[in-house]
Amino acid sequence: MDWKILTTIILSILLVGCAADTEPIKPADDSKATAEGVKTVVDANNQFALDLYSKLKGEGGNVFFSPYSISTALAMTYEGARGQTAEEMKGVFYFPDSDVMRPSFARIYNLINKEDKKYKLHTANALWAQQDYAFLPEYLGLVEQYYGGKTTNLDFVTKTEESRKIINDWVEDKTNNKIKDLIPPGAINAMTRLVLTNAIYFKGNWLKQFKKSDTYEADFRVSPDKTVKVEMMSMSGKESKFNYAETEELQILEMLYDGEELSMLLLLPREDDITALENSLTAEKLDEWKGMLREREIVVNIPKFTFETKYFMVPTLTEMGMPTAFSANADFSGMDGTRNLFISNVIHQAFVEVNEEGTEAAAATAVIVALTAMPTNMFIADHPFIFIIQERETGDILFLGKVMDPGAE
């Protein structure tokens, strides 16, 4: 079985039965959220998930990402977008109107972070702003009110590396040390004015755990001409009852996590070639398959696996339909009242481990917003320059020099 499809459908871990160890965001205005509105936002997230998967699958190898994390980070960014920039972002992420979107995002956030659960699931948002840049208070207040994204002032101009470390440390802490070095060196610089981050972490035990003594070494067919050895978990007998369905093309298995609020769906094509399944996978088809599930006794054999992924998403999101946000024509005037900002990078990193006990998954997204051009009131000599010492009254040049390496003697 090709586990690319499993790692995509694992979004059900992140959305079906949201819960957490942390307190709900406060203040979080979800009082106007309705069940219909929440479903609209969830449907939008799921459709974006499948759209993005259709792009990432072509890169080869394993695929794993959190559509919730990406959508949330870009939703906070979208709140500051205007004009064509906003329209393109809305089209890619299927965002509903603000009166539905804002309270629904707040409700989902609070559901994810609810207390009293048998698993760990929590998410957090944060804004990291250049300390002397004039962001609109209403924008920062809106993000905090509906997304729980509090603003921390940093100095990207003169303390770039220190700022990067602070953000990465926050991400690492919020993901139980699973997402490290989200923002690589060079991704933020003196032109950076805002970084928007989302982090999500999940750890849950299977409702019916596999016995380690039943795990065995087995062959896994990566392709018709390549086989690898894996540790195959196994369960059978009267205790091995799961929600299951099948068609002529595939088998569908649902495995519950302790608490019975979260589950993992596995879609296994009948043939080794997963392409046909990928091409038929739509939100409507997924709902149809889920509706077919019925509990039955079944022999289950799935491999243990652990891997990480990292995506630099500007090319992909551009191809999906939002190029303006990444160009000099971007309009994020809802953030600062000007059109001086654009998205310079979108970085997403994810981790997943599946074993006999259960599943651990984490992901984080950073949206980096920078200046489209250096403002006239800034002078940053961070590259070679010429200097002159003159007598001011006459303009007589007393000394003239060029700095190529300030550290050289």
Domains of the chain: which residue ranges? 4-205+305-371
Residue at 187: amino acid letter: A
Query: 193-250, pLDDT tens digit by residue?
Result: 999 999 999 999 999 999 999 999 998 888 888 888 999 999 999 999 999 999 999 8
Using a pLDDT cut of 90, give the percent of the chain over it. 64
| Cβ neighbours for 141, distance < 8 A, ≥ 6 positions apart | none
Question: What's the confidence (pLDDT) of residue 20?
Answer: 33
Cα distances (angstroms) measured from residue 46 to each of 10, 147, 286: 11, 19, 10
Asked if the model's pLDDT at residue 407 lies above 80, the reply is: no
CATH number for the domain running over 4-205+305-371: 3.30.497.10
Q: What is the pLDDT of residue 221?
A: 86
Those residues whose C-beta lies under 8 Å from the C-beta of residue 216, and which sit 6 or more positions away, are 231, 232, 234
What is the rounded distance in angstroms from the CA atom of residue 273 to the CA atom of residue 225? 12
The answer to whether residues 229 and 281 touch, using CB atoms and an 8 Å cutoff, is no
Whether the pLDDT of residue 382 is over 70: the answer is no
Report the range of poorest mean pLDDT among 273-277, 311-315, 354-358, 401-405.
Answer: 401-405
> Distance between alpha carbon 283 and the CA centroid of its chain, in Å?
20
Q: SS3 string of the chain?
A: CCCHHHHHHCHHHHHCCCCCCCCCCCCCCCCCCCHHHHHHHHHHHHHHHHHHHHHHHHHCCCCCCCHHHHHHHHHHHHCCCCHHHHHHHHHHHCCCCHHHHHHHHHHHHHHHCCCCCCCEEEEEEEEEEECCCCCCHHHHHHHHHHHCCEEEEECCCCCHHHHHHHHHHHHHHHCCCCCCCCCCCCCCCCCEEEEEEEEEEEEEEECCCCCHHHCEEEEEEEECCEEEEEEEEEECCCCCEEEEEECCCEEEEEEEECCCCCEEEEEEECCCCCHHHHHHCCHHHHHHHHHCCEEEECCEEEECEEEEEEEECHHHHHHHCCCHHHCCCCCCHHHHCCCCEEEEEEEEEEEEEECCCEEEEEEEEEEEEEECCCCCCCCCCCCCEEEEEEECCCCEEEEEEEECCCCCC
> pLDDT digit string (tens) for 264-318?
898 898 888 788 888 888 989 989 999 999 999 999 999 998 989 999 999 999 9
In whole angstroms, give the CA distance from residue 12 to residue 31. 25
207 burial level (CB within 10 Å; 0-12, 13-18, 19+): middle
**Segment among 76-80, 177-181, 262-266 with least mean pLDDT:** 262-266
Nearest to 192 by CA among 403, 1, 374: 374
Between the alpha carbon of residue 290 and those of residues 51, 252, 255, 262, 294, the distances in Å are 19, 8, 12, 14, 9
Cα gap 324→250, rounded to integer Å? 40
How far is 267 from 247, CA to CA, in rounded Å? 11
Sign of CA dihedral 361, 319, 278, 68: positive
- Per-residue pLDDT at 159 exceeds 70: yes
Reported as a single tens digit per residue, the pLDDT across 92-103 is: 999 999 999 999
Q: What are phi and psi of 3, to 5 degrees?
A: -90, 10
Give the lowest-confidence range in 127-131, 177-181, 263-267, 388-392.
388-392
Task: Give the amino acid at 184.
Answer: P
The rounded distance, in Å, linking the Cα atoms of 256 and 241 is 11
